[in-house]
Amino acid sequence: MGPENKIKIAKETPFAAAIVGIPATAGWIFDIGSLKSVSPARVSMKFPDAAFVLSGFLCP
């Protein structure tokens, strides 16, 4: 894995985190259970965790 690939991964990782963090945060704000968890069989993401995930996206 060359340095170009590592830079690309480092730039794309916050967007992947936002894909999880934004719906989870919205789920807590609007009390939508299906947005708090990846699947119904999984444990829901807690609000501080969702907000922490978003901090990686907002502070590159």
Show the DSSP H helices in the chain as ranges: 3-30, 33-36, 47-58
* Distance, CA of 13 to chain centre: 10
Q: Residue 60: is its pLDDT beyond 60?
A: no
Per-residue pLDDT reduced to its tens digit, 21-59: 788 888 888 988 888 877 778 888 787 877 777 666 665
Q: Domain-by-domain residue ranges, the chain?
A: 3-58
pTM over 0.75: no
For residue 39, give every residue at least 6 positions away whose Cβ sits within 8 Å of its Cβ, in sequence order, or none. none
